Chains A and B, each alone.
Chain A
């Protein structure tokens, strides 16, 4: 099968174009020579199937950043039949260097000058026919966003694929060390083909920036926007989440339970309470994930994320992070999983790891459910909101403490130099495609992991079958008792310890597991908790729940995004240690003070 490599600088709309070309059929795949996974799509072009690979955006073929090395290694070990080079037409004067570098490799090249719509607004005119002649390669102006110019370009790609690759140089670096020659040629082509007005007309972006990047109001506006975003996600997401949960339990009651009625009770329990409930738990996450990616994709594609990074960078730099890390931390307050995935925008691995180490402390919506239930049951209505707020403070404090402690270990020398793209309206098609890709990715990864975890927890609380489920005689009960010496100093009872084991899978089932353990639900459970626990124990339990670990999906994401088992174990171990330490100091301190 012929192979097309999609190449270009960041902010050229390359990924949008990739989605348009592959129609959302892309999958992640591994390639020789590189350790990261790349998005790959197979499409029918003319009468043949071809494979299109989306390579990371890069500025310079002989640069030293992670992405630049990935591209170089990929080209070396997987010579493509065609290099489809995407350039931003509004920045053609500086992006042409990349094109000439690729041309020097003697690759089969088709050039796409993307963002023709924006270039037109800027008053930039490009003579593509003449440029094609000078560069000796096909050049097309198009708009990936609106799809104009797209059919012609794909026709040219199809034609170009008929010819074999002219040949790939053996010594890649050697061929590339011709900067001066490149610059002269660049100037020659640009001078004859491109006209940029001496002073650009004031763009809408400048006007928007004057408000959104205001020295005083910029930050408050940013926080307001984020607040509205989260409110929107949960206002829309929770009914959908509830709807899916209802649909799954309906399916279970009307179809699955009768179908399995003749089976052995242990099998019934394992399949229904274990596997099926596990799947339902994963599926319930889907609406939130979809909404998150829709909202975050709009923010990201609009160009506002880069602005937020600009505003927050001064503060984050002191923590060893950068402006983008703050945005991810905020995303984590909704759900840690998309926030961990979002760190992909970071180029430096050390900084990305430090950000991923910090994100799991963000008080996500699932943990919020536990805290809302507990505070309502154990604290007076006027103090409950304060208790909740204090947990948010602890969440931030844990993140800041972690960053400060480990900034030396994950020291990144990567300079903070970012491009600020103009504001753009994302199109619906772009958003839907993005949301769909991310959800499929999430489901693929999380399903097996969560199902395995849920099955394990179910077995722990039901084996041996002679014992009362989740009682002290089951494996979980034995573990709860065995761990008692460890949890007693922080005020957590054996019953709560079992709930924490459930919480390891997903925080959504902590309250549900307590309901199973006590055999009560809703208000009755709250009443019993209030009798059995005093506020100090309850708060210690909440602190531990907040910090000890996110959930299985987050850990799975941490593992797949970091590509490192060691880092995942380290992150988990650190949060467990920190959780115990914080709860210990709180519980013993409060008791010593006589509470």
Chain B
């Protein structure tokens, strides 16, 4: 499943990141790496962005970007 489908409070592991070069690098720099554990903290109203916690960092990203990240439920 992809990160955009992950429910709130669910912990998961990143399996793969399918994004074009610049977004891939950006995500990687923010801590999105294969094997990294993450947790969806909350979702904004009106299908807005989601808040994801990776280690000590909280990241906000739109569902469109989250759809590029394949995850596996922990």
Contacts and interface: CB of A to CB of B under 8 A. Distances in A.
B27 interface: yes
Contacts of B47: 314
A414 to B, nearest CB: 9
B65 interface: yes
A431 B21 CA distance: 38
B51 A417 contact: no
Nearest to B68: A415
Given A94-B55, A196-B55, A196-B56, A419 B30 contact: yes
Interface stretch (A33-41, A72-80, A212-220, A253-261): A212-220
Given A94-B57, A313-B62, A417 B25 contact: no
A65 B26 CA distance: 9
A499 B48 CA distance: 45
B44 A314 contact: yes
Nearest to B56: A90
Give the residue among B26, B55, B59, B65 with the most A Cβ atoms within 10 A.
Answer: B26
Interface string A299-331: 000000010011101110100000100000000
Give the residue among A65, A97, A314, A317 with the most B Cβ atoms within 10 A.
Answer: A314
Q: On chain A, which size bracket covers the interface?
A: 35 or more
B48 A311 contact: yes
Give the residue among B21, B29, B59, B62 with the most A Cβ atoms within 10 A.
Answer: B29
Contacts, number: 112
Contacts of A9: 29
Nearest to A307: B60
B42 to A, nearest CB: 6
Contacts of B43: 215
A315 B47 CA distance: 9
Interface in B17-69: 21-23, 25-31, 41-49, 51, 54-62, 64-65
A311 B23 CA distance: 22
Nearest to B42: A213
A236 interface: no
Interface in A179-210: 196, 200, 209
A94 B30 contact: yes
Contacts of A421: 58
Interface stretch (A56-64, A160-168, A447-455, A584-592): A56-64
A508 interface: no
Give the residue among B41, B46, B58 with the most A Cβ atoms within 10 A.
Answer: B58
A122 B21 contact: no
Contact of B58 (A122, A313, A419): A419
Interface string A94-123: 100110000000000000000000000010
A60 B49 contact: no
Contacts of A418: 49, 59-61
A65 B22 contact: yes
Contacts of B54: 94
Interface in A407-443: 415-422
A91 B57 contact: yes
Give the residue among A216, A219, A417 with the most B Cβ atoms within 10 A.
Answer: A417
A218 B44 CA distance: 9
Contacts of A62: 25
A310 B51 contact: yes
A306 B60 contact: yes
Given A93-B31, A313-B48, 5 more contacts: A64-B21, A97-B29, A196-B56, A314-B49, A420-B51
Interface of A: 9, 59-60, 62-65, 90-91, 93-94, 97-98, 122, 124, 196, 200, 209, 213, 215-216, 218-219, 306, 309-311, 313-315, 317, 323, 415-422
Interface of B: 21-23, 25-31, 41-49, 51, 54-62, 64-65
16 contacts: A9-B29, A59-B29, A60-B26, A60-B28, A62-B25, A63-B22, A63-B25, A90-B56, A310-B60, A313-B62, A314-B45, A317-B62, A415-B65, A416-B49, A416-B62, A417-B59
- Closest A-B pairs by Cβ, 3 of them: A314-B48, A59-B29, A314-B46
